[in-house]
Structure 1
Amino acid sequence: MTDTQDTAAPDTTQGPRQVVEVGDTRYTLLGTAHVSRASADEVRELIASGDFDAVAIELCPSRHQSLTQPNAMGDQDLFQVFRQGKAGMVMASLALGAFQQRVAEQSGIEPGAEMREAVKACRRADLPLQLIDRDIGVTLKRVYARVPWWQRAGLIGGLLGSLLSRQKVSSEEIERLKQGDVLESTFAEFAEQSEALYTPLIRERDRYMALRLAEENTPPRYRNVLVVIGAGHLKGLAEHLSQPLPEAPGEERATLEATRPRARWWKVIPWLITALVLAGFALGFSRDTQLGWQLIGEWFLINGVLSALGSAIALAHPLTVAATFVAAPLTSLNPTIGAGFVAAGVELALRKPKVRDFSRLRHDVSSVKGWWRNRVSRTLLVFLLATIGSAAGTWIAGLRIAEQLLGH
């Protein structure tokens, strides 16, 4: 039997609460403001009260690690990050952290202070801590997958523009942070007008957290569980808990963690481009040897220059720029390796990040200049800009080859 009741908070500094009873487990859902000292204080007081035998918080393991081990990035092998294709995700996480740092500087309190306080209070009280939110990387991928391809450039551009701006964080952004976390507030402007974004960003996470609570507490392991979540998730999570949940919540949870595999034709396109370029070279030589060498020369020059330009904009080492110039035309004909990977590898060999680069990373990426000053973030920029330059060079050079062949 499931029972739901509202408990009004007489003190205006208290966050909204709902109590939901599922079988023998009583969940006290506390809606917090992510930029509020009062919320952090309230979380600490509730955990210290002794009324609860477990605490669940709106964090995933990776965000929990980021919160409790801010220098964990230093333990990562950057070369493996590039090799595994995780550079984009790392940059997105750093960009979100940059926005968080700006908010902290301007508001006097860092977003997520109530979650940090919950972690500390649980340690002091020796209470089990349950991480119930979906991994931020999975959420970002599902958000990206649901947006039509023609809207993705605008979404990414708006995201980067707002995160890297040095303008003062508006009062509207602060208010959004009081209802949701950094991820939600960043996409709030888009999500309010897009069901495609609202579903993976809010609705799916409400359901996911309900399933995680069921997993953590079935069969009943704890009698009274305090659930610390952003106020924006309070209503949705309460509704899911108030309805029967599946006997095997892990199966449904797995479906909410799945990311759509890339369509096969996306994997074919790089090989198709390579085949067309090589066919263009062959056709050029069949018509005129001089034309064939001209096509190859233009391919190497356009591709190499644009990719090297990307490395140069990232302020890469001169030898990295030279290596990018040589590698880009060749890697563009080999879909198994990218120019950005080569550029980042050379940059890491020439300018290996030091301990202080990792320790200052979160602070440095809060400013545009800091992305170029810190060796870790600069290497990520080298990878990104060299990749973009090579991609642009491939298309421009490819069109140039087609134009030359059609003109003869």
Structure 2
Amino acid sequence: MSDTQSQEPIEELSIRDSKLTLLGTAHVSKTSADMVEKLIESNEYDAIAVELCPSRYNAILSSDSLAKMNLMDVIRSGKASMVIANLAMGAYQQRLAEQFGIEPGAEQRKAIELAQKHHLPVLLIDREIGTTLKRTASNLSWWKRWTLFTGLLLSLISREEVEEEEIEKLKEGDMLETTFAEFAHDREDLFVPLIDERDAYMAARLTQEVEEKGHEDILAVVGAGHLKGISRKLEEGINEPARLISELNALPEPSRWPKIIPWFIVALVFIGFGIGFYRSPELGWQLVWSWVLINGTLSAAGAALAGAHPLTVITAFVAAPITSLNPTIGAGMVTAAAELWLRKPTVKDFEQLRHDTTHWTGWWKNRVSRTLLVFLFSTLGSAAGTYIAGFQIAGKLAGS
């Protein structure tokens, strides 16, 4: 696929008494990277702003950042799903690179490289990707959130080629938005946190940099899909950039229901056991064994599907019926710990993680990603077992 030959969109604005040049780029276009080089080599700018947050900037500079990850800490802190989602997005973007011979984000890398060459400050103006993902999730219903996440997971085993239409959208828009658009059915739910809020955030960051650092001539390299939004926000004026940045960085208040529901289910299960034993010890033990067999079997099946060690599969069977009665400890946490103990990842596993996860088979080959899958699949199996066993217990009580 050939790059578009049209001139990359450029807008020149003023922030206070400083000049700002906004270069709208295509994240998958060599033409954009060439334009970045041409502008920076003109030596007209005293600072280069890029559409990156600190974590993505560090990932570009430190290719071994994943090698420094403490996997058990990630799982204990509840960030395993976020890591899986990030790896899945990376796999999707790598599919683009392999299919079309392109390098997503090449223009941002070029901007950083040339800024360092000319000893110019690099301004990171985008919001942290973790904050954006959390605010995006809070903007979706629980069903669309589940559809989004499962879509990302299904993409791991997808061998379908990315359609040309998706590439054209990337040339017009934003990498994050387009990545999610492949899996989400309603883009309206995604527009505010993925595009509009980030337009405002980047406009505020540019204003803040001018006010605090006094840059006189800034080149900002941003996706073409953000160009009009950032321009509009700046033309409207941002009087208190720090306050706006703080508001856009605020994480949504977590709902109480996800914390209450598991305890409510546990209470119902114990009530069901109590009623069963009250009616007859035989019925009570039938209910207990139904709980153990269904919950344990489904969690063990999830661990086996992830390619877990046989002892980890047995651990899942034993742990799931117990952890399901204690919402503070998930089955996945126990199975992941067992898998880490039985098959400790090597330094090479961490170093190869980003490369291995670009193909679905690599998720099962690499010990780091496989442990994440063990955590995820055994958790899902236990969750399914909890509801199925709960309904079966209720059915037996109703029929006795």
TM range (shorter): over 0.9
Structure 1 residue aligned with 2:380: 388
Alignment partner, residue 153 of structure 1 = 146
389-398 or 137-146, larger mean C-alpha shift = 137-146
Percent identity between matched residues is 55
Shift of 1:150: 3.0
> How far, CA to CA, are the matches of 2:210 and 2:266 in structure 1?
54
Conserved 8 A contact 1:98-1:164: no
The answer as to 2:242 corresponding to 1:227 is no
Gap change, CA 1:341 and 1:31, over 3 Å in 2:
same
Distance 1:190 1:234, change over 3 A: farther
Number of equivalences: 397
Structure 1 pair 121–196 and aligned structure 2 pair: CA distance change class (3 A): same
Aligned-residue offset at 1:15: 1.1
Unaligned runs of 5+ in 1: 1-10
Asked whether the equivalents of residues 281 and 296 of structure 1 are also in contact (C-alpha less than 8 Å), the reply is yes
Say whether 1:65 aligns with 2:58.
Answer: yes
Q: Following TM superposition, by how much is the alpha carbon of 1:219 offset from its aligned partner in structure 2, in angstroms?
A: 4.0
Q: Secondary structure at the match of 1:94?
A: helix
233, 251, 257: which one aligns with 2:243: 251
| Equivalent residue for 1:200, pick from 172, 193, 198 | 193
Equivalent residue, structure 2, for 1:331: 323
| Mean CA deviation greater in 216-225 or 313-322 | 216-225
> How many Å apart are 1:109 and its aligned residue?
2.3
- Post-superposition Cα deviations, 1:261-292, rounded to whole Å, max 9, x if no partner, equal 22222211111111111111111111101111
1:172-191 alignment runs, 5 A limit: 172-188=165-181
Structure 1 Cα separation of the partners of residues 285 and 185 of structure 2: 54
Alignment partner of 1:19: what SS? strand
Contact in 2 for aligned 1:299/1:329 (Cα 8 Å): yes
Supply the distance in 2 between the matched residues of 1:291 and 1:176 (Cα, whole angstroms): 60
Q: Please state how far the C-alpha of 1:340 moved relative to its aligned partner.
A: 0.4
> Residue 8 of structure 2 corresponds to which residue in structure 1?
15
TM-score using structure 1 length? 0.93
Look up the match of 1:53.
Answer: 46
- Residue 128, structure 1, aligned to residue 121, structure 2: yes
Q: Which piece of structure 1 moves more, 59-68 or 26-35?
A: 59-68
> Per the alignment, in what secondary structure is the counterpart of residue 116 of structure 1?
helix
Equivalent in the alignment of 1:6: none
Task: Decide which of 298, 314, 333 is 1:306's aligned counterpart.
Answer: 298
CA distance change for structure 1 residues 87 and 193 in 2, over 3 Å: closer, same or farther?
closer
Structure-2 residue corresponding to 1:3: none
- Matched AA of 2:338: V
Quote how far apart the aligned CAs of 1:333 are.
Answer: 0.4
1:315 aligns with 2:297: no
Contact 2:88-2:155 at 8 Å conserved across structures: no
**Which secondary structure does the structure 1 equivalent of 2:236 belong to?**
coil
Contact 2:174 2:226 in 1 (8 A): no
* Structure 2 stretches lacking a partner, 5+ long: none
Matches of 1:403 and 1:231, distance apart in 2? 57
1:292 aligns with 2:284: yes
In the other structure, the counterpart of 2:78 is 85
Deviations 1:194-231 (A, max 9, x none): 42211111111100111111222214511000000000
Shift of 1:236: 0.5
User: Is residue 174–residue 224 contact of structure 2 (8 Å, CA) maintained in 1?
Assistant: no
The answer for the alignment partner of 2:270 in structure 1 is: 278
AA aligned opposite 1:306: L
Alignment match, 1:374: 366
8 A contact 2:152–2:183 mirrored in 1: no
In structure 2, how many angstroms separate the alpha carbons of the residues matched to 1:193 and 1:402?
37
CA contact (8 A) 1:99 1:164 kept: no
Distance 1:89 1:177 in 2: 23
Per-residue Cα deviation, 1:348-370 (whole angstroms, up to 9, x for no partner): 11111112212221221111111
Match of 2:205 among 190, 205, 212: 212
* Cα distance in structure 2, aligned partners of 1:257 and 1:165: 34
Equivalent residue runs for 1:152-171 within 5 Å: 152-162=145-155, 164-171=157-164
- Provide Cα deviations, 1:132-158, integer angstroms capped at 9, x if missing partner: 111111111111111122333333333
Does the CA contact (< 8 Å) of 1:159 and 1:186 recur in 2?
A: no
The one of 1, 26, 30 aligned to 1:33: 26
Q: TM-score, normalised by structure 2?
A: 0.95
What's the secondary structure of 2:161's corresponding residue? coil
Give the 3-state SS of the residue equivalent to 1:55 in structure 2.
strand
Do the aligned partners of 1:347 and 1:379 also contact (CA within 8 Å) in 2?
yes
Q: Answer yes or no: is the 8 Å Cα contact 1:96–1:182 preserved in 2.
A: no
| Deviation (angstroms), 1:192 | 8.9
Q: Distance in 2 between matches of 1:319 and 1:358?
A: 23
Structure 1 contact 303–328 (Cα < 8 Å) conserved: yes
2:157 and 2:46 map into 1 onto residues whose CA distance is: 42
